[in-house]
Amino acid sequence: MALGAALFSLSPGLAQFLSAEPGKWRPVVYADLQIPGEAALPYASLWADELRRNNDAYKAKGDLRWSVANAPAAESHVVIRSPERVVVLSVLHTITACAVLRRDAGIAALKSCPMRLAIYENGQSRIADAGKGCFVEYATRPGSSAPDMVRNAALVAYDVENRTIRAGIVFQGKVAEECQFRVPIPQSRGG
């Protein structure tokens, strides 16, 4: 699998609503994992091992600023809901786990980062490594609180017929060919 099993409880926040128009392209959702709030906790749990590894790498360099929180970390995700299960595709962004692919000077960086696919059904979860995915890291720009989502954006859609999450990146206003993925969703455990 190109894009970005343990058991833990499905967060009530993940299971509330069915996905409307799953085939329509939409932006991914970002979560700050440095001090994860309630909405980010399921994603922090999904990446707990990698967050520990990132924290340990900072400590090994003598950087102890993050003793109360995680070292800098974020993730992007899409959640696909059906009446039977919830599927999450998540890409983790940390300095220690990602490689820069390209930069949009002072605006954003396109990175290759670890990706996981989580499937929640019947009170259990299956979590699988999904290879490397792409992550758009936005720079903080003076006077602007919102990133330019036309110039640089991570987008996803769900192909219901083929049971595949389509993920793609627009970077510097153009399709980033190296970041166009199709991630198949495995059959339900029930068949």
* Per-residue model confidence as pLDDT tens for the chain (191 residues): 332 222 223 333 443 334 567 788 999 999 999 999 999 999 999 999 999 999 999 999 998 888 789 999 999 999 998 888 999 999 999 999 999 999 998 899 999 999 999 999 988 999 999 999 999 999 876 666 677 778 999 999 999 899 999 999 999 999 999 999 999 999 876 65
Please check whether residue 163 lies inside any domain of the structure.
yes
Residue 62 lies in a domain: yes
Q: Is residue 12 part of a domain?
A: no
Residue 110 lies in a domain: yes
Q: Which residue range forms the structural domain that includes residue 83? A: 26-184
In a domain, 171, yes or no: yes
| Other beta carbons less than 10 A from residue 115's beta carbon | 27
| Residue 104 covered by a domain | yes
CA-based R_g, the chain, Å: 17
* Per-residue pLDDT at 190: 60
Asked whether residue 113 is domain-assigned, the answer is: yes
Q: Return the ∠ at Cα 27 (arms to 5 and 54), rounded to 5°.
A: 45
So what's the pLDDT on residue 4?
29
Q: Is the Cα dihedral 28, 154, 3, 166 positive or negative?
A: positive
Residue 189's pLDDT is 66
Phi, psi of 45 (to 5 degrees): -65, -40
Domain count, the chain: 1
Write down the pLDDT at residue 16: 34
Residue 17 lies in a domain: no
Tokens of 64: 């102890």
Q: Which pLDDT value is given to residue 113?
A: 98
pLDDT at 181: 93
